[in-house]
Structure 1
Amino acid sequence: MSPSILPARLARSAGSITRVQGIEAGHYTDTRRPTGCSVVIARAGAVGGVDVRGAAPGTRETDLLHPTNLVERVHAVMLCGGSAWGLDAASGAVRWLEEQEVGLDVRYARLPLVPAAVLFDLGVGEARIRPDAAAGHAACAAASRAAPAEGNVGAGTGASVGKVFGMEHAMKGGIGTASVTVDGITVGALVACNALGDVLEPETGQLLAGARTADGRQLRDTRRALLCGELPQPVLAGTNTTIGVIATDAQINKAQAHRLAVVSHDGLARAINPVHTMSDGDTLFTLGTGASGRTLGMITLAAMAAQVTAVATVRAVLCARGITTAEGLWLPSACDLDDRTSMVRQAHHERFGNRSP
């Protein structure tokens, strides 16, 4: 990764979701085309929550996470490429966890509970290749307490961003992780960013990746382009999505887990614009392991959750590498446009004058 494009505060170690006590993470990356899956495991179980904001989600077992429903704890969350087909990866995680004797004791067996969400990467390479149960099993087998790889791995392998004006103007997305610790309690995130919109640095507003100009050499700035009258290309519903897991070792209940999932979307809104569109299936899960044996107030936990979600989203694109598929689709990374990022604002003024929304 080119250090000049990576903001100084992100160039330093951003931590990882595996710094949360009781959490493991692993990836499976398919070598046949850009796709894969990523898993976050809580062997001892974790209080779960979820919030779906995008209008075109692909999910599995999200209803059981509702605060009023019976099941209190889950054992893993699977993030997958491959659109709805990719949800099969969760079955592989269930099988692997059963082999490890991890799951809810239902008297006759231990039943692993594995909610899942998918992103659409079928337009990047051969669509008939997608994650399956064997891929989910492999991701679990690769999971550990080590910091997970970022960029073109797991669920982020085929991810792309900035598709409002057509896939030919898009850039490479990926998967990123981050964590923050306050008073001995950690909140971490793992986010696979396949957004329709652009990704920006939350504190400065600097565009990092997204829709490119017609010559492909500069960032277009989707928000400003739309507000200045440029027309988006028709987008197939569900072909974009940012999905992720936010975990904490604080002691929380199910209602609090749900609230942390809700406020974590604030982090997406800081890092992606536009976000939660009719063509995105943005879904965030939360896991509370309680392994620290204590808690913080919800105001602090909420601030931590939104922060790590934003940083992990940014790292998803900054750690990505550009690719060219066999079909000739070029998806450059943020680093590929590094020497031109200083021209983003100038390009905007040349294209739209000094008009500002």
Structure 2
Amino acid sequence: PENLVEQVHAVVLTGGSAFGLATVQGVMRYLRQRNCGFQTEYGVVPIVTGAVIFDLGLNKGENLPDADMGYHACENSSKEGAEQGCVGAGTGATVGKLFGLERAMKSGQGFASLTSPGGLKVWALAVVNAFGDVRNHENGELLAGVRTEDGRQLANAAASLVELETLGGFSETNTVLGVVATNAKLTKAELTRVAQMAQDGIARAVVPSHTLYDGDAIFALSTGSHRRVEVTVVGALAAQLMAKAIVNGVLHAVGVDDLPAYQDLFGE
């Protein structure tokens, strides 16, 4: 919040590890063609930030994200929300990697939103690539995560940790990425607080969360089209929606290869 630039023009969440950063070029090209960006004497410069997940365990490099994918994502964007499941940045996402990828489960990206009677809008997008398990934030039900050795049931990472003193054999390349956005008129400092509070949503849905092996990151945005709203209200709602988005990312995922999803183990 202490830096000069007040606005960003896009946030990119992508898979493909560092290779996925190429998608940012496509987003910048899309915005520049529409004269959207920071105005300079040398032309418009779109300010684009973002983050990536490491999913090369599933994507062996055959179809890495590129600039064209970023451009097409802009073309297909919608004000109504985002697709859920194994799409976009969630295509290669997994959860439950306490004992390695072979006992993990497939996850994806999820979305959640609300509109208050007074017109306040808040929405959250999560890309769920966590080290831990995912639980229903409302009742604690274990939905997806590390599986038993036979792969047929959930093993419960939290319970398994009691029996371990050292961790090994797991992927150190995990993260939950998220974006929370609102139409409430908030300052950069207030949005920083919203992002901090939204991190609580990760802790409600992912167990264990915020480990040394997770690189969790949440971006907070405001369109400023609504009146000012108490930042605590927006932050609390953002945390609720982030937890719901994480759960949705698991419920909408589909299995791939030897990695089942929630629907494969528990779907009707």
Tell me the TM-score normalized by structure 1.
0.72
Return the letter of the residue paired with 2:245: A
Partner of 2:238: 305
Residue 162 of structure 2 corresponds to which residue in structure 1?
227
Contact 2:101 2:171 in 1 (8 A): no
For 2:112, which of 174, 178, 197 is the aligned residue?
178
8 Å CA contact 1:235–1:279 kept in 2: the answer is no
Aligned match of 2:70: 136
Native 8 Å contact 1:202 1:270 kept in 2: yes
Partner of residue 295, structure 1 = 228
Deviation at 1:339, TM superposition (A): 6.5
1:322 aligns with 2:255: yes
Q: CA offsets, 1:108-134, max 9 Å, x none?
A: 311111101000100003235311212
Q: Unpaired segments of 5 or more residues in structure 1? A: 1-66, 325-329, 341-357
1:333 matched to 2:261: yes
Q: 1:70-109 alignment to 2 at 5 Å?
A: 70-109=4-43
CA distance in 1, matches of 2:51, 2:81: 21
Deviations 1:38-75 (A, max 9, x none): xxxxxxxxxxxxxxxxxxxxxxxxxxxxx100000111
The C-alpha deviation readout for 1:233-291, integer Å capped at 9, x for no partner, is: 33353x11110110000000000111111111000000001112222111110110011
Residue 193 of structure 1 corresponds to 128
The answer as to whether partners of 1:266 and 1:306 remain within 8 angstroms in 2 is yes
CA distance in 2, matches of 1:124, 1:234: 17
For structure 2, the residue ranges without an aligned partner over 5 or more in a row are: none
C-alpha offsets along residues 316-342 of structure 1, whole Å, 9 cap, x if unaligned?
A: 000101111xxxxx11111111169xx
Q: SS of the residue aligned with 1:304?
A: helix
CA deviations on 1:280-316 (whole Å, 9 max, x unpaired) are: 1111101100112x02211211111101100000000
Asked whether the 8 Å contact 1:322–1:333 carries over to 2, the reply is yes
**Match of 1:73, SS?**
coil
Give yes or no for contact 2:101–2:170 (8 Å, CA) kept in 1: no
**Coordinate RMSD, CA, aligned:** 1.5
CA distance in 2, matches of 1:139, 1:233: 37
Higher relative contact order (CA 8 A, sep 6+): 1
Letter in 2 for 1:84: A
Query: Matched residues in 2 for 1:233 and 1:214: separation?
Result: 16
2-side partners of 1:295 and 1:201: how far apart? Answer: 32
**Aligned partners of 1:258 and 1:208: how far apart in 2?**
30
Contact 2:179 2:220 in 1 (8 A): yes
Count of aligned pairs between the two proteins: 267
Q: Percent identity?
A: 47
- The answer for the alignment partner of 1:125 in structure 2 is 59
Report how far residue 106 of structure 1 moved: 1.5
Mean CA deviation greater in 159-168 or 139-148: 139-148
For 1:203 and 1:157, the matched residues in 2 are separated by: 26
Distance in 1, Cα, partners of 2:96 & 2:171 = 14
CA distance in 1, matches of 2:64, 2:210: 24
1-structure distance, mates of 2:62, 2:158: 33
Aligned-partner Cα distance in 2 for 1:236–1:320: 20
SS of residue paired to 2:215: coil
CA distance in 2, matches of 1:150, 1:186: 19
Q: Distance in 2 between matches of 1:195 and 1:226?
A: 16
1:152–1:242 Cα change, 3 Å:
same
Q: TM-score, structure 2 length as denominator?
A: 0.95
1:249·1:291 contact (CA, 8 Å) conserved in 2?
yes
User: Matches of 1:148 and 1:206 in 2, distance apart?
Assistant: 25
Output the CA distance in 1 between the equivalents of 2:184 and 2:80. 20
Deviation at 1:95, TM superposition (A): 0.9
C-alpha separation in 1, matches of 2:217 and 2:21: 14
Letter in 1 for 2:255: G
Instruction: Please state whether the residue corresponding to 2:24 is helix, strand or coil.
Output: helix
